[in-house]
Amino acid sequence: MRRIETNGYSLEVGSIIESSFSNLLKQKYADSKKVILVDENTHANCLSYIITNFSELSEAEVIMLPAGEDSKQMELTYSVWEALTEYGITRFDLIINLGGGVITDMGGFIASCYKRGCDFINIPTSLLAMVDASIGGKTGINLGHFKNQLGVFSNPVALYIDPVFLSTLPGKEVLSGFGEMIKHGLIADAELYNAVRDEMLHGETLEEDILVRCIEVKNEVVKQDPKESGLRKILNFGHTVGHVIEGHFLPTLKLSHGHSIAIGMVMEAYISMKRVGLSVSDYEELATFILGQYQLPEFSDEDIKSMLSMLQNDKKNRADKILCCLIPALGECVYDQEVDEQMFLETFMHFKNLQVNLN
């Protein structure tokens, strides 16, 4: 069991059976009602593991949501608040979020607003939620097509990361989680980047040391800058272009978050080479590796026009300037870099031509 120091809550990585979870339930929450929030997949694949191993949860209420990003919206949030009221849940009770990033983001938001704040515990079950979404206190839901538009910063009482849940995670979702792991290496630790790359190319089961190191990178950054006034912005590397790719191709390709971010990282690495001195050899190595794992979508001039206009609406922009994170070298990241529309146009054209040559 690895215990990682955080901003005041328990973060444990390893078998949840050996963690402090049982004692916490027996002691602090002995007299509290417990609610477990799941989606349909974690209901089918993860819930029984928790219920059978923790008798303290035998009476817990279970609230199940449909799986996927479409659930992260106000109507369903409202229906969960109504269910909590119906079950007579008070501010002294406990909500347990058992799921991927949708459940941890949404459940954290639901708990933090309910009766002015109810305790919650995160038990992430997807790789992406383990290395990213469940850590750092960002909770929220989408507003129409605008991602994470409603939310609060709020930390769980405890976060238990147990790789046991990865055994049922579909391959596409594993690849999505690896996208954020590559990012953690690229922005903060070149050795970690090499380890994640080797794991993806040659590994059979995910090494726990690599998982832990990715968790540490995210945790260290958010500990230093919990509300994203500076350093935390480096976690957005790949996301300026990645969110545009994700949104633009959502109706047709349904790319996962991590896949979109991986493509975003290659494009922002290309801009890094042009603007902040990332070496040509490092750029070429990472582009070959990432595009070998994550298929580059095909796009037309019309797609480029639409993606450029989406870039103007990015929530990270300030005073009409498109701001981006760039990497001057592997394992280093600078934030708030102004990149003009011409540079994005050149980047999209470069990858459009690359796609043509790949075919």
**Residues belonging to the active site:** 116, 138, 180, 218, 228, 232, 236, 239, 243, 257
Tell me how far, at minimum, the Cβ of 42 lies from ligand NAD, in Å.
5
184, burial (CB in 10 Å: exposed 0-12, middle 13-18, buried 19+): buried
Tell me how far, at minimum, the Cβ of 87 lies from ligand NAD, in Å.
23
Structure tokens at 256: 């996962």
Q: Per rule CB under 6 A, is residue 257 in the interface with ligand NAD?
A: yes
- The H-or-E segment that residue 38 falls in is strand 34-39
Tell me how far, at minimum, the Cβ of 77 lies from ligand NAD, in Å.
13
Q: Per rule CB under 6 A, is residue 103 in the interface with ligand NAD?
A: yes
Tell me how far, at minimum, the Cβ of 152 lies from ligand NAD, in Å.
11
- In contact, 345 and 308? CB cutoff 8 Å: yes
Scan residues 163-182 and list those touching ligand NAD (CB under 6 A): 165, 168-169, 173, 176
Residue in 80, 111, 123, 128 binding ligand NAD, rule: CB under 6 A: 128
Q: Tokens 């008798």 correspond to what residue?
A: 55
Residue in 19, 97, 125, 347 binding ligand NAD, rule: CB under 6 A: 125
Scan residues 72-91 and list those touching ligand NAD (CB under 6 A): 72
355, burial (CB in 10 Å: exposed 0-12, middle 13-18, buried 19+): middle
Distance CA 177, CA 174 (A): 5
User: Maximum distance among all alpha carbons in the chain?
Assistant: 64
Candidates 268, 266, 317, 321; CA nearest to 294 is 266
Residue in 10, 19, 42, 347 binding ligand NAD, rule: CB under 6 A: 42
- In contact, 328 and 276? CB cutoff 8 Å: yes
Q: Per rule CB under 6 A, is residue 243 in the interface with ligand NAD?
A: no
Q: Which stretch binds ligand NAD (CB under 6 A): 9-17, 61-69, 241-249, 338-346?
A: 61-69
Structure tokens at 43: 């209901």
Structure tokens at 120: 């919650």
Structure tokens at 316: 């990270």
Q: Per rule CB under 6 A, is residue 225 in the interface with ligand NAD?
A: no
Q: Per rule CB under 6 A, is residue 242 in the interface with ligand NAD?
A: no
Integer angstrom CA distances of residue 347 from 40, 62, 88, 112, 352? 39, 47, 54, 41, 9
Q: Per rule CB under 6 A, is residue 148 in the interface with ligand NAD?
A: yes
CA 122, 2, 188, 198 torsion-angle sign: negative
Of the two residues 129 and 287, which places its CB atom closer to ligand NAD in the complex? 129
Residue in 66, 68, 117, 277 binding ligand NAD, rule: CB under 6 A: 68
Binding-site size for ligand NAD (CB under 6 A) equals 31
| Binding region for ligand NAD (CB under 6 A) | 39, 41-42, 45-46, 67-69, 72, 99-103, 105, 125-126, 128-129, 132-133, 136, 138, 147-148, 165, 168-169, 173, 176, 257
